[in-house]
Amino acid sequence: MMDIKIIDYKSPEYYTQVHFRFRLLRKPLGLCFTRTDLITEANDIFIAGFINNKMISCCILSPLETSEIKLRQMAVETAFQQKGYGKKMIEFAEKHIQQLNQFHKIVLSARAEATDFYEKCGYYKHQPPFIEVSILHYKMSKNI
């Protein structure tokens, strides 16, 4: 069973998540995190999923200046993909956003290969696609 929780910025779990995101999302693209990247995360909400105290999934919620919040850096350990853990992360994030009671829409930039997953979770794809961090993405959103 996966334990999902909010983790604090600059906590030991946060740094575990940074390494996790680097390994799954950045390293395959030849990208790193800069000091500025991490400093700009100070106001974000960090969510992580654990099995037997090992991080297997994560995402970040970044409040925008509007009534929107951006879901980003969603990742699930390869061995745990397509087993419902990503969906559980999305459900947890959406419930948390609803409890904040200040956002009306979740937006995200989905890698092209992940759009089917987000559509199954109720997100809508916006055209046209665009290139971000050297790969094809789609803007997607969901009203809450």
Instruction: Name the residue ranges covered by the structural domains of the chain.
Output: 3-103
pTM: 0.95
For residue 124, what are the β-bridge partners? 141
Q: If you classify domain 3-103 with CATH, what class do you get?
A: alpha beta
pLDDT, residue 58, reads 98
pLDDT digits (tens, 9 = 90+) for 58-100: 999 999 988 999 999 999 999 999 999 999 999 999 999 999 9
* Angstrom distance (rounded) from CA 135 to CA 129: 10
Chain segment 31-44, per-residue pLDDT in tens? 999 999 999 999 99
Q: Tokens 């090992």 correspond to what residue? A: 54
